[in-house]
Amino acid sequence: MCGINAFFRKTDGTEELLLEDVDSVRKENGTIHIRSIFGEVRSCEGDIREVSQTTHRIVIVGA
């Protein structure tokens, strides 16, 4: 089973892995909260740029 991974795209175009096996994503007051299927939570400021089930990726860019 392949899970969806969340990445943060930096201003120089490189990407940093934020979280593997993403279960849910929500945005609250400009902050994106990502939860994995294992209950791990990561938060960051930004906007969702891309969601792809084909490539199993969520890409977030800084605000």
47-60 pLDDT tens trace: 999 999 999 999 99
Angle at 15 between CA 58 and CA 47, to 5 degrees: 50
Beta-carbon count within 10 A of 10 CB: 11
- pLDDT band of residue 45 (cuts 50, 70, 90) is very high
Q: Provide the token pair at 49.
A: 């740029």
Whose tokens are 């979280």? That residue is 19
Q: State which amino acid sits at residue 54.
A: T
